[in-house]
Chain A
Amino acid sequence: AEKPASLSIALLGDLTGPYASVVGPMAPGAEDAVQYVNEELGGIDGVKLKLHVRDCTGKAALGLQQYAELIGSTPKPLFFGVPHTPTAEALREKIIRDDVIGFFPGSVPDLYPQGNSYSFYALYAEQSAVFIRWLRANWKEKRNPRVAIITWDQAYGRAMLTPEFFDYCKKMKVDIVAQELFGVRDLDLTTHMVRIRSKNPDWVIANNTGSGPLAILRAAKELGMKIKFANNVGGDWGTIRLDPELFEDSISVMHMASFDNTDHPGIKKVFSYLKKNKRGIKEQTAFYVLGWQYVLMIHKTVSDAVAKVGWDKLNTAAIKSEMNNLTNWEPLDGVVKITYTDKVRHSHWLRIYKIKGGKLVPPGGKLGGSEFVEAPDLTPLKFR
Chain B
Amino acid sequence: MWRPCGTFDDTYEKDISIVRTPAQWSITVAGLAVLAVLPLFASGYFMTTVNLIAISIISAQGLGILTGLTGQISLGQGAFMGVGAYTLMMLMNYLGFSFWLALPCAMVSAGIIGLIFGLPSLRIKGFYLAMATLSAQFIIPWVITNVRPDLTGGTSTINIQYPSLFGLDLSKQSSMYYVIIFFTIAILYLTRNLARSKIGRAFVAIRDNDLAAEIMGLEVFRYKLLSFTICSMYAGLAGSLWVLWVGAVNVDSFTLHESIWFLGMIIVGGLGSIPGVCFGVIFIRVLELFVQQISPPIAALFPDAIGAAIKSGLSPFTFGLVILLFLIYEPRGLAHRWEIVKHFYRRWPFSY
Check A-B contact in the complex, CB < 8 A: yes
A155 near B44 with CB under 8 A, answer no
B156 at the interface (CB under 8 A from A): yes
B49 at the interface (CB under 8 A from A): yes
Q: Which residues of A are found within 8 Å of B145, using beta-carbon distances?
A: 153
A72 near B44 with CB under 8 A, answer yes
Interface string of B27-71 (1 = CB under 8 A from A): 000000000000000011101110010000000000000000000
A71 near B159 with CB under 8 A, answer no
A110 near B252 with CB under 8 A, answer no
CB distance from A225 to the nearest CB of B (A): 27
Query: In the docked arrangement, what's the CA distance between A187 and B76, Å?
Result: 24
Q: Which residues of B are found within 8 Å of A58, using beta-carbon distances?
A: 252
Of the candidate stretches A37-45, A60-68, A172-180, the one touching chain B is: A60-68
Q: Which residues of B are found within 8 Å of A71, using beta-carbon distances?
A: 44
Q: Which residues of A are found within 8 Å of B288, using beta-carbon distances?
A: 62
A86 near B252 with CB under 8 A, answer yes
Query: In the docked arrangement, what's the CA distance between A85 and B156, Å?
Result: 9
B305 near A110 with CB under 8 A, answer no
A64 near B253 with CB under 8 A, answer no
B48 near A60 with CB under 8 A, answer no
**Secondary structure of the B contact surface, majority rule:** helix
A155 near B246 with CB under 8 A, answer no
Q: Which residues of B are found within 8 Å of A158, using beta-carbon distances?
A: 154-156
**Secondary structure of the A contact surface, majority rule:** helix
In the complex, which of the residues B173, B247, B253, B312 contacts A68, with contact meaning CB atoms closer than 8 Å? B173
Query: In the docked arrangement, what's the CA distance between A20 and B313, Å?
Result: 11
A94 at the interface (CB under 8 A from B): yes
Which residues of chain A from 137 to 159 have a CB within 8 Å of any chain B CB? 153-155, 158
Given A72-B45, A90-B250, A93-B247, A20-B312 contact (CB < 8 Å) = yes
Query: In the docked arrangement, what's the CA distance between A72 and B47, Å?
Result: 11
Given A72-B43, A72-B45, A16-B156 contact (CB < 8 Å) = no
Q: Which chain A residue shows the least CB distance to B173?
A: A68
In the complex, which of the residues B48, B248, B304 contacts A89, with contact meaning CB atoms closer than 8 Å? B248
A7 at the interface (CB under 8 A from B): no
B19 at the interface (CB under 8 A from A): no
A62 near B247 with CB under 8 A, answer no
Query: In the docked arrangement, what's the CA distance between A24 and B155, Å?
Result: 21
B156 near A155 with CB under 8 A, answer yes
Query: In the docked arrangement, what's the CA distance between A8 and B34, Å?
Result: 34
Interface string of A261-291 (1 = CB under 8 A from B): 0000000000000000111000000000000
Which residues of chain A from 1 to 60 have a CB within 8 Å of any chain B CB? 15-16, 20, 24, 28, 53-55, 57-60
Interface string of A73-95 (1 = CB under 8 A from B): 00000000000011001101110
B197 at the interface (CB under 8 A from A): no
B312 near A153 with CB under 8 A, answer no
A188 at the interface (CB under 8 A from B): no
Pairs A–B under 8 Å by Cβ, sample size 11? A59-B253, A61-B52, A64-B246, A69-B48, A72-B43, A90-B246, A90-B248, A93-B248, A94-B247, A278-B304, A278-B305
Task: List 4 extra interface pairs beyond A28-B308, A69-B48, CB under 8 A.
Answer: A89-B248, A90-B246, A90-B253, A93-B247
9 smallest beta-carbon distances between A and B, as pairs: A89-B157, A68-B48, A86-B252, A69-B45, A68-B45, A155-B156, A155-B155, A72-B44, A86-B250
